[in-house]
Amino acid sequence: MLYPLSFGNNPLFPQASDFAVTAKDHKNGHGVITYRSFEPGDLLAVVAGEIVRDIRQHTLQISKRRHMYDPYFTGYLLHSCDPNVSLNMRARTLTALKPIQAGSFLFMDYTETEDTLFRQFACCCGSEKCRGWITGRNEAPHQIVIESHEHVHTH
């Protein structure tokens, strides 16, 4: 099991035999890779974590004032504007959106769960649907001022 024993022994929790947190590349950092294949609609795992009031790196929003801190599994799901998984924070389930082959990284759309991100970032998902700059669903992009030629770009 990827979760500590203090979380309980739910057989639907992500198992080390099925998933691993591993380095992807220098742009994305670490992500979750699957050792199994999944079809659309398949349940990948039931997820858990410590319930906290603040937004942190590796938290996922449950409600306006509640977040689940999971530095073991879901906190490492990578972002894509065209994701292959969906994370339901009410049911705490991770489900396949499209076919996923063994050896693939898992990608969710961060706007599915987050009103405000811990940190906005330039997207490097490479999808045809890429939005370019990733924010929470209720926040405006931060402005980046480029000194040369006094241009102001909003990403």
Q: How many helices (H) and strands (E) does the chain have?
A: 0, 14
Residue 153 has pLDDT above 90, yes or no: no
User: Residue 152 pLDDT > 70, yes or no?
Assistant: no
Reading the block at residue 87, the tokens are 């994370």
| Percent of the chain predicted with pLDDT > 90 | 72
The three-class DSSP label of residue 4 is coil
| pLDDT the model gives residue 45 | 98
- pLDDT given for residue 101 in this prediction: 98
**Four-residue CA torsion sign, 58, 60, 66, 69:** negative
Which pLDDT belongs to residue 139? Answer: 86
> What does the pLDDT look like over 62-100, one tens digit per residue?
999 999 999 999 999 999 999 999 999 999 999 999 999
Q: Is 49 a residue whose pLDDT tops 70?
A: yes
Q: Is 33 helix (H, G, I), strand (E, B) or coil?
A: strand
Q: What homologous superfamily is domain 5-118 in, according to CATH? A: SET domain (2.170.270.10)
pLDDT for residue 147: 42
| Backbone dihedral angles phi then psi of residue 153, each to the nearest 5 degrees | -110, 135
Q: Output the pLDDT for position 25.
A: 83
- Looking at residue 140, what is its pLDDT? 83
What are the residues whose beta carbons fall under 8 Å from the beta carbon of 7, sequence distance 6 or more? 13, 48
| Confidence at 1, pLDDT banded by 50, 70, 90 | confident
Q: What string of DSSP letters covers 83-117?
A: -SEEEETTTTEEEESS-B-TTPBPEE-GGGT-SS-
User: How many whole angstroms separate alpha carbon 155 and alpha carbon 7?
Assistant: 39
Query: What pLDDT does 104 receive?
Result: 97
In 47-92, at which residue ranges do the beta strands (DSSP E only) sit? 50-52, 59-63, 66-69, 78-79, 85-88
pLDDT digits over 134-148, tens only?
989 888 887 554 443
- Average of per-residue pLDDT values in the chain: 89
Region 99-125 average pLDDT = 93
Q: What are residue 63's DSSP bridge partners?
A: 66
